[in-house]
Chain A
Amino acid sequence: MKLTELMTENLVDPALKGAGKDEVIDLLIEKLDAEGVLKSKRKFKKAIEKREKEGSTGIGFKVAIPHGKSKAVNKPAVAFGLSSDGVDWNSVDGDKAQLIFMIAVPEESAGNEHLKILQMLSIKLMDEAFRNELLQASTQEEAWQLLEQIG
C-alpha cells in the first residue's frame, strides 16, 4: 500500500493559501470534506485542535502534521499543502511550517495498514533530501510524484 492510496489529487495543494494556522487548518479540512472523508467538519476540527493543545504538531524542519483521530472520520486520508510563505505553527525550532500534512484517522477501523503508511510518512519526513525535493515542487503533479514514493 502507498501513501497516495490515502490521498486524491484534489487533496494535494502546491500553492496553499491562508495566512494563519487556524485558516490553514480550515482550508485543509474543507478539502478533506469535499472528498467525502469527513462526517462532520466541526467534530473533526475539535479533534485537530485538541491534539494541537497537547503540543504543537509543528515538528520543526518546516513541517507540520496536524492530525485528528475521530469518529467524525469516514476513512483514513491525508491532505497535503505547500505554503510558499510559511505558516507560524509554534514549532519547536521557531521555523514557519511550509510542508503541511493533515492526517485524518477514524476512531476505529479494521486493520492497521493505514497506520503503517503514516509511519512510513513520518520516517520519510525525517529525510532532509526528501523534504527539500518536496519544498521545490511547484505543481500538483510534481508533488504527487514525490508523495507516490512513500509506502
Chain B
Amino acid sequence: MKVLAITSCPNGIAHTYMAAESLRKAGEALGVEIKVETQGSIGVENELTSEEIQTADGIIIAADKNVDKSRFVGKPLIETGVQDGIHKAQELIKKFETGNVEVYEESRATVEEGKAERKSQQNAFYRHLMNGVSYMIPFVAVGGLLIALSLAIGGVPTDSGLQIPKDSVWKQINDVGVAGFTFMVPILAGFIAMSIADRPGLAPGMIGGYIAANGSFYGSAAGAGFLGGILAGFVAGYVAKWIKTWKVPQMIQPVMPILIIPLLASIVVASLFIFVVGAPIASIMSWLTTFLNGMQGASSVILALILGAMIAFDMGGPVNKVAFLFGASMIGQGNVQIMGAIAAAICVPPIGMGVATLLNKRKYEKAEREAGKAAIAMGLVGITEGAIPFAAKDPLRVIPSIMVGSMVATVIVMLSHVGNNVPHGGAIVAVLGAISHPIMYFVGIIAGVIVTALMVNVLKKNIS
C-alpha cells in the first residue's frame, strides 16, 4: 500500500514537522510506503507529484490550516487536524486498509485550478532540470577540483597543451578527476529523466546522456556536451513516461519498470542521437571549422567576438571544441594570438559565475554557492566545465551572460596582441610563462568576469 500525506499548522514551525515525522514512523512500523509533503514556514517541501498522487491508495491531510485539495479529486481522502497526525498516525493509515474512506469529489472545477495547473506545468521544466543539476554538481566539483589540482601542480606546458607526465602521481589523480567528469553528463540526463518518469527513467536517461557526451557513437569528433545531455534526459524521461501509460497484459506488468520501459526508452534516445542529432552536429562542426578558417583575414575584433561566444556557448561541447581546436591549430601555424584570446575566454564562465555567487547570495541556493567556489578554482586552471551546473540549471539567463563576458575578454586580449603558445586556458598558462603579455591577459579576464557576474545577477531573480 502507498499513502501520501500533507501536514501543515498555523505558524509552520513545529507541528507540521512533528506530524510528518510521526506519520513517516507509523508508515515504517506498518510496512506502508508513505510520503509526506510539509507546508511549513520554510515553504512546501517534499512536494507530492501528480504521478505519485495518481498511484497512491489514499491521502491524509493533517492540517490546522487550509490545504488545497483540488489535486486529490477521485482519491480516498482523510482530512483531520495536525494533532491527529502526531498522535494517531497509525490509526489514520490503517483506515485505508479497511477501505471505507470517502473518495474526495469536487464538482466545480474552477478557473483558479486551471490556472494553477498551467503554472505547475511551466515550472515542471525547471523542476526536472534542477533535479538533474543537483545530482550533477558533486560530480563536477570532485572531477573539476581533482583535475584542477593535478594540472596546477603536476602540469607541464607542451605544444599539445598542458600535459601531466605519465610517471607522475598527479597523472593518477587527474585520471580520477576525469572519471568524475565522465559521469557528469550521464548523471545530469539520468536524473532529469528520473524526475520525469521516476525510476524507469534513470537507465535510459543515463545511457542517453553517455551517448550524447560521446561523439564516437555518431561519427562526430566531439560529443553534444551538456546541452545534448539535457536533450537526452528530457527525451528519455518523456518516452519512459509515455510507455508507462501503455495498457499491457497483467503478466508482463511486473517487468515493465525494470526491463521493457528502460529498454525501449534507451533504444529511442540512442536512435535519436545516432540517426537524427549526430549527423547535424558533425556537419555543424565541420562548417564552423571552415568558417573560422575563412575568417582569418577579417577583422581581429570580429574573430575575437566569434571565438569568445563559441568558447562560452556550450563549455566543452562541439561549438567550444571547434573554437579551441582552431586556436590550437593556429599555434602550429605561428599565430599564437588567437590561442591567447581563447585562453582568456575559457576561464571567464566558471570564474564569472563563481564571483556572481559571491556578489549576491540571495540569487543562488546553498549548493550553487558551494559549486561557485569550486568553479573559481576550476576557472583558474582553465576548466570551463565549472560553469556547467549554472548553465544547465538556468540556460536562458546564464549562457548569454557567460558568452558576453567571454567576448569582452577575447576582444581585450586580442587587441592587446597577447600570445599564448600552449593550447590551454586559465590563469595557469600565464603562471607557467606561456603568455606573452600577462598584464593585458589578466585585464581581459577580469573585465570578462565582471561583465558576466554583473549581467547574470541582473538577469537572475532572487530564489524564493
A residues with a Cβ closer than 8 A to B are 51, 54-55, 57, 59-60, 65, 67, 69, 92-93, 103, 105, 112, 115-116, 118-119, 121-123, 125-126
Chain A to chain B contacts (Cβ below 8 Å), 5 pairs: A57-B15, A59-B14, A103-B13, A115-B42, A122-B18
CA distance A121 to B16 in the complex (A): 12
CA distance A67 to B83 in the complex (A): 16
Q: Identify the closest chain A residue to B65 (Cβ).
A: A54
Pairwise interchain contact B10-A67, C-beta atoms closer than 8 A:
no
Known: A59-B83, A115-B13, A116-B42. 9 other contacts (CB 8 A): A51-B11, A57-B14, A67-B14, A93-B87, A103-B14, A105-B13, A115-B40, A119-B42, A122-B15
Q: Closest approach, in angstroms, between the C-beta of B175 and any C-beta of chain A? A: 37
Q: Which residues of A contact B43 (CB under 8 A)?
A: 112
Q: Closest approach, in angstroms, between the C-beta of B167 and any C-beta of chain A? A: 46
Q: Which residues of A contact B20 (CB under 8 A)?
A: 123
CA distance A57 to B40 in the complex (A): 16
Pairwise interchain contact A65-B14, C-beta atoms closer than 8 A:
yes
Chain B interface size, as a band, is: 20 to 34
Q: What 1/0 flags go to B2-16 for Cβ under 8 Å of A?
A: 000000001101111
Pairwise interchain contact A59-B15, C-beta atoms closer than 8 A:
yes
Given contacts A60-B86, A67-B13, A69-B11, contact A126 B18 (CB under 8 A): yes
Pairwise interchain contact B87-A118, C-beta atoms closer than 8 A:
no
The secondary structure that dominates the A interface is mixed
Pairwise interchain contact A119-B40, C-beta atoms closer than 8 A:
yes
Q: Closest approach, in angstroms, between the C-beta of B417 and any C-beta of chain A? A: 47
Q: Does B79 touch A at the CB level, under 8 Å?
A: no
Q: Which residues of A contact B394 (CB under 8 A)?
A: none
CA distance A121 to B11 in the complex (A): 15
B residues with a Cβ closer than 8 A to A are 10-11, 13-18, 20-22, 25, 40-43, 64, 81, 83, 86-87
Q: Closest approach, in angstroms, between the C-beta of A87 and any C-beta of chain B? A: 18
Given contacts A93-B87, A112-B42, A126-B21, contact A55 B14 (CB under 8 A): no
Q: Closest approach, in angstroms, between the C-beta of A126 and any C-beta of chain B? A: 4
- Sorted nearest first, the 7 A-B pairs with minimum C-beta distance are A122-B17, A126-B21, A123-B21, A122-B14, A122-B18, A119-B17, A115-B42
Q: Closest approach, in angstroms, between the C-beta of A118 and any C-beta of chain B? A: 5
Given contacts A115-B41, A119-B40, A122-B18, contact A55 B87 (CB under 8 A): no
Q: Closest approach, in angstroms, between the C-beta of B26 and any C-beta of chain A? A: 10
Q: Identify the closest chain A residue to B41 (Cβ).
A: A115
CA distance A27 to B10 in the complex (A): 24
Pairwise interchain contact B14-A118, C-beta atoms closer than 8 A:
yes
Pairwise interchain contact A59-B42, C-beta atoms closer than 8 A:
no
Q: Which residues of A contact B11 (CB under 8 A)?
A: 51, 67, 69, 105
Contact of A125 among B18, B64, B83 (CB under 8 A): B18
Q: Which residues of A contact B42 (CB under 8 A)?
A: 112, 115-116, 119
CA distance A115 to B81 in the complex (A): 22
Pairwise interchain contact A92-B87, C-beta atoms closer than 8 A:
yes
CA distance A125 to B16 in the complex (A): 13
Pairwise interchain contact B64-A60, C-beta atoms closer than 8 A:
no
